[in-house]
Structures are given as structure tokens and as C-alpha cells.
Amino acid sequence: MKINIADAMAGMVLANDIISNNVRILKKGAELTDKVIQALLKRDILTVDVVDEGNSRQMHVELQRKIDQRFQRYENNSAMMELKNIVINAVEETYG
């Protein structure tokens, strides 16, 4: 959902990359912070596309699927499974 940058709040997640002068400033999925919002305002970026609540859950499910897929071949490697759990916890914290 496209919103005015003045309405953006810390914790919102980008639905699309932010591109300025053909340079990617932020990647899709990045979480906005107050500092990032201020930096975007300084760059005269007036709108951002953020994930709405329903899409955030969908993104979470998709990330979980990708994590499972990437770690599948390491099921017998305890260190890799520990790393997988760290990644899953980070996703949970971000997308809840």
C-alpha cells in the first residue's frame, strides 16, 4: 500500500525496493526506522510502498518456506540446524 512518507512509522515493512536516481536505496522487506524515514525525507522521497498487515503474514509464510527449503539438505548437521533456528527467530521477530 502506497503511503506518504510523512505517514510512515517505524516498524513498517517495505513492499518494494526504494529506487532513487537508478540506485536502490532500500530493499523490499526492509523495516523502516525513524532514522531511515528522516533520511528518505532528506532525499525528497515522498511516498513509500509498505506491506499491509495481511501481506506481512504472507511474506512471513513465504520466508519460512524459503528457509526450510535452503536448510533441507543440512538436516543432519547440528550447527546448520542451530543457524536455521537463529534465522527463523530473526524472521519471527521481524514479521511476528
Q: What are phi and psi of 46, to 5 degrees?
A: -95, -25
Is 91 or 86 the better-scoring residue by pLDDT? Answer: 86
Q: 18 pairs with which residues across the strands? A: 26
Q: Which pLDDT value is given to residue 54? A: 60
Q: How confident is the model at residue 67 (pLDDT cuts 50, 70, 90)?
A: very high
Task: Tell me if 62 sits within 8 A of 71, measured CB to CB.
Answer: no
Query: Cα separation of 88 and 86, whole Å?
Result: 5
> Residue type for 6, please?
A
| Nearest C-alpha neighbor of 96 from the set 17, 37, 11, 26 | 11
